[in-house]
Each structure stands twice: as structure tokens, then as C-alpha cells.
Amino acid sequence: MPKIGMEPIRKEQVIEATKRCIVRKGLANLSIKDIAAAAGVSTGIIYHYFENKEDVLLQVLKESFRTSHEKVMQTVEPLPNPVDKFFAHLENINAVPKDNPEFYIVLLNYLGQSTHNPQIRKIVTKFFYNLRSYTENYLRIKTEADPTAACHLKNLPVILYALGLGLGIMWTLDNDFYDIEEMGESLKEWLAKYLDLTGKGPQDGSVG
């Protein structure tokens, strides 16, 4: 019988082991026995803390997004200026493939399941909505101060994350596809110009 107070420890142990298994052999080929072996526990322990394999996998996805969110908030939230928050958030997005390479490997595995698994799709889309919301909040002070900017900035949060996720996936699959540091600087330079932070306005409103 599991010891009292062990639930958080065991759950984390199983979740981390499941991540390692996904990275090593993929989601489609994963079994509860694989997870148990990687975690160093019995299958009975896993079924004590999780309803079934799908429950384990859903918790892994939630934990991956939660960890990513917490890391961003630790660096972004202390900053008082919304513009500084925006660029710190951008730097975090660019750094994910290099600093947390498992994230995109795990995400790619789940994206393949999301089209026919409503629960996975719900978690993934909520993650995307949250990302958009953060950036909208950073930009709100600019759009409120200059109503004409709202038109140019309306779609910027979605474009930003489409770029970030796309670039992250490409770099994860092939580290030589582009220079990740150089790309980060290029994105910051482009966005600074677009947000009129260098004295230059949006390029004919072509973005957003």
C-alpha cells in the first residue's frame, strides 16, 4: 500500500519518466510497462495514482505546459514595463528549443494525437489561447494610448507565436537549419521596428 504523503512525489516520478519515454520512443509506442520501468515503480503504483494510460499522458501534457509557463513568468512578471515584458517573453520563446529541447519533442508527439483526441486538443488549444492572451496584455498599454495602433497590432500575438512555434519545431528537428541566436536577434529587431520602438513606424501596416 502506498505510503501517506507520497502521492505528489510518485506522480512527479511517473510524469517525468513518461516524458523520457516519449522522447526516447514516441507516444504511439508507449506502454504502461515502459513507464513503470522508467520510473522504477510497479504498474500497480501507476494505476493507484492515475486512472489509466490516457490520464498519465494528459497529466504529462499539462505538466509540460505548466513548467513552460512558470519559467516564463519567473523572468517576465518582475519587469515593470509592458514592453520589457513583451521582449523578455519573446526571448523565452526563442530559448525554449535550446534550453528545454524535450518540450518540442513532447509537443510534436501530442499534436499528432490532437486531431482525434478531444481532451488533448482542448489542452493544446488552451495553451495557445493563454499565449495569445499574455502578449495581448503586454501590448494593451500601447493600443490604449494610440487607438490607431490597435489595427496594426490586432493579429501580432498570433503571428508571434506562429513564428515561435514554427521556428522551435524546425530547430528541434534540425539544429543546423538556422542559427538560433541570430534568429532571436532578428526577431527582436523586426518587432522593435514594427512596434515603433526605434523611431520607425509599421511598414505600411503590412503586419497584423
| Chain segment 2-45, per-residue pLDDT in tens | 565 678 889 999 999 999 999 998 988 899 999 999 999 999 99
Centre a 10 Å sphere on the Cβ of residue 107 and count the other Cβ atoms it contains: 22
Sign of CA dihedral 168, 31, 36, 1: positive
Same fold, 1-50 and 58-194: no
Cell numbers 486538443 correspond to what residue? Answer: 121
CATH architecture of residue range(s) 58-194:
Orthogonal Bundle (1.10)
Q: Does domain 1-50 have CATH number 1.10.10.60?
A: yes
- Give mean pLDDT, residues 54-74: 89
- What is the longest distance spanned by two Cα atoms in the chain? 67
Q: What angle do CA 17, 23, 25 make, to 5 degrees?
A: 95
Band (pLDDT 50/70/90 cuts) for residue 205 is very low
| Domains of the chain by residue range | 1-50, 58-194
With both helix axes pointing from N to C terminus, report the angle between 118-145 and 101-114 in degrees, rounded to the nearest 10. Answer: 120
- Is there a contact between 65 and 103 (Cβ–Cβ < 8 Å)? no
Q: Are 106 and 61 in contact (CB under 8 A)?
A: yes
Q: Give the pLDDT of residue 198.
A: 42
Which of 16-20, 97-101, 105-109 comes out lowest in average pLDDT? 97-101
Q: Are 120 and 114 in contact (CB under 8 A)?
A: yes
